[in-house]
Amino acid sequence: MNRRYSTLFCLIAFMSMAKAVSNDEDLAKAVLNDDEETRNDSPVQTLFDTLFEGYNKHMRPVKNHSDATMVNLTPWLYSLVDVNERIGTLKFIQCLRLTWMDELIRWDPAQFSNITYIKLPVSMLWFPDVAIYNALQIDLVIPMEQLKVRINHKGKARLSLYQVVTQRCHDYNLAMFPFDDQSCTTRYASWHYSAEEMRVIPVHVEFAAQHLERHSSWRIIDYSPGGYRETYAAEEGDDSLTYEEIHYRITIRRDAKYYVVTVVAPTFIITTICLTGLFVPFSSTGERQQKVTLGLTTLLTIAVVLHMVTEEMPKSPEGTTMLGKYIIEQMALCGCAIFITVLVMYAHRWVLGQKYKVPDWLLTIVQYNKTTPLPTFPGYHSIESSARLNGHVAIETAECENSPNKSATTLMSEDMRRVWDAVVECQKNLEWISNSLTQNSVAMDGVQAWTRVYNTFDLFALIFFVLMNSVHTYYRVFAYYLSRA
């Protein structure tokens, strides 16, 4: 009995819950219907239903099919991402704005609560299929399904595409590297429509480089229509169609400060050290072997710098770049100085070996005065004075022999004769030493004179080569760098 009552009670409770759920569903449907009626009654929804009744997004929005759709093209460049000269690519970020007239979407704002424009998903409308013909890859920052088209009551539609474009560039000229300006052409055109169906019109906007994001190695100079419209015909079945391309030209300039600081300045300093070491006097005797060794070591250093630069420099079909030519010319300048130093070294040795006398006109040019004092000794007498003295001694010896004390006088004269012979022998030795010293002094004077001549030549050569190095570096590098600053 109790079991029957419990079963009946559960059945009644279940029916009550079912009725409550049914009432909630009816209430939700009523609310949804009220919301739907509210939305259907809104001016935007009414405008939408009115505009898109019978609208076909796959057909060009023109009333007369023979009329061409005019599309205004305005690319806004935001920043430069990458420039690859080796493979010839350019990567940048831009906002591509397309504007056209949709003749099938127009309304009177007075009939729709003064609504002058609406924004619709791009998938609901016809939009121009403008493509970049030389693009390798185009990435949309905002996906296509999330883009909106702004269209006003006169039918003017505007679509903005935020793109990351990687395109191919065939116009790179690296002959002036690193002081080069590069240009790359972006080719815009419709992918499907011919010029009779759609015309792309470039809109020139004043380029503002200060609003762009700065790149580490490049600076954007200009981005504007190149003034070039390419037209070509294509055969499609029995029809001959004409297609058009709009070319925008982007001009970029390389920042050469990095290469000036890390390559040009060290090369100039190393070459200056090479020239200074080659022509500065190394010793008072005119030795030059160490100079040549220093020059060859410096030349090897420049060759290492050239190898490092060659690894970093982009390959140019025009041949050696400007920076490579500069380093090669610096090596040639240093090599020429080493060659002249070797010639001067051998010439100096040759004139000293041949004991040539320095011409007077060279002594005048180098302002060298001969100062070869002859050595003197206390009590020194020449051979003539010794002969006179020897005559006086002979006379005195004869007088002594005629004297009454002949034996004592004879002994004295013999002693004097022996002493005098020793004195004469000493005088001859002193005279030989004097002549030797005089000859050595003359020889040393000639060596010093030739050393003075070649040191003067080194000074003029140093001034000449340092000036040539400075002028060459200025006109080859710094003149371009300062003109581009």
Q: What is the DSSP string of 417-431?
A: HHHHHHHHHHHHHHH
Which residue type sits at 255? Answer: D
Decide if pLDDT at 473 tops 90: yes
Between 342 and 7, residue with greater pLDDT: 342
Q: Is 214 helix (H, G, I), strand (E, B) or coil?
A: coil
Average pLDDT taken over every residue of the chain = 77
Percent of the chain with pLDDT over 70: 70
pLDDT per residue as tens digits for the range 180-205:
999 999 999 998 898 889 999 998 77
pLDDT score recorded for residue 346: 85
How far is the C-alpha of 11 from the C-alpha of 118, rounded, in Å?
57
pLDDT score recorded for residue 136: 93
pLDDT per residue as tens digits for the range 358-416:
787 877 777 766 554 444 444 444 444 445 545 554 555 555 455 555 455 555 567 67
pLDDT per residue as tens digits for the range 455-467:
888 889 999 999 9
- Over range 122-132, report the average pLDDT: 93
How far is the C-alpha of 245 from the C-alpha of 334, rounded, in Å?
53
Decide if pLDDT at 25 tops 50: no
Between 394 and 68, residue with greater pLDDT: 68
Decide if pLDDT at 477 tops 70: yes
How far is the C-alpha of 425 from the C-alpha of 428, rounded, in Å?
5
Could you tell me if 434 and 374 are in contact, meaning their C-beta atoms sit under 8 angstroms apart?
yes
Burial (CB < 10 A; 0-12, 13-18, 19+), residue 219, is middle
- Quick one: which of 386, 358, 352 has its CA closest to 372? 358
Decide if pLDDT at 328 tops 60: yes
In this structure, are strands 69-84 and 198-202 parallel, antiparallel, or unpaired?
parallel
Decide if pLDDT at 4 tops 50: no
pLDDT score recorded for residue 226: 73
Q: Cα-atom radius of gyration of the chain, to the nearest Å?
A: 52
Between 290 and 329, residue with greater pLDDT: 329
Backbone angles phi, psi at 169, to 5 degrees: -125, 125
pLDDT per residue as tens digits for the range 262-295:
889 988 988 898 888 888 776 555 565 666 677 7
pLDDT score recorded for residue 223: 87
pLDDT band at 218 (very low <50, low <70, confident <90, very high): very high
- Quick one: which of 44, 46, 52 has its CA closest to 126? 52
Decide if pLDDT at 341 tops 80: yes
Domain ranges of the chain: 51-255, 257-485
Could you tell me if 76 and 97 are in contact, meaning their C-beta atoms sit under 8 angstroms apart?
yes
pLDDT per residue as tens digits for the range 232-249:
666 655 566 788 888 999
pLDDT score recorded for residue 69: 94
User: Residue 392: left if φ>0, alpha if ψ -120 to 50, beta else—which one?
Assistant: alpha
How far is the C-alpha of 195 from the C-alpha of 70, rounded, in Å?
10
pLDDT score recorded for residue 2: 42
pLDDT score recorded for residue 38: 41
Which of 22-31, 128-137, 290-299, 450-459 is least confident?
22-31
Provide CB contacts within 8 A for 205, sequence distance 6+: 74, 76
Provide CB contacts within 8 A for 456, sequence distance 6+: 365, 366
Which of 274-278, 309-313, 433-437 is least confident?
433-437
Decide if pLDDT at 1 tops 50: no
Helix (H) or strand (E) holding 95, with range, is strand 89-101
- Over range 156-181, report the average pLDDT: 91
Decide if pLDDT at 449 tops 70: yes
pLDDT score recorded for residue 439: 52
- For residue 191, the 8-state DSSP code is S
CA quadruple 378, 379, 384, 385: dihedral, nearest 10: 150
pLDDT score recorded for residue 75: 92
- Quick one: which of 164, 166, 97, 161 has its CA closest to 135? 166
- As a CATH number, domain 51-255 is 2.70.170.10
- Quick one: which of 405, 260, 382 has its CA closest to 327? 260
Decide if pLDDT at 230 tops 50: yes
How far is the C-alpha of 456 from the C-alpha of 299, rounded, in Å?
24
Q: Residue 205 is encoded by which pair of tokens?
A: 């906007």
Decide if pLDDT at 60 tops 70: yes
Which residue type sits at 292? Answer: V
- Over range 86-99, report the average pLDDT: 92
How far is the C-alpha of 126 from the C-alpha of 102, rounded, in Å?
8
- For residue 233, the 8-state DSSP code is E
pLDDT score recorded for residue 373: 46
For 239-392, strand residue ranges (E) read: 239-254
How far is the C-alpha of 170 from the C-alpha of 33, rounded, in Å?
62
- Over range 135-164, report the average pLDDT: 94
Decide if pLDDT at 421 tops 80: no
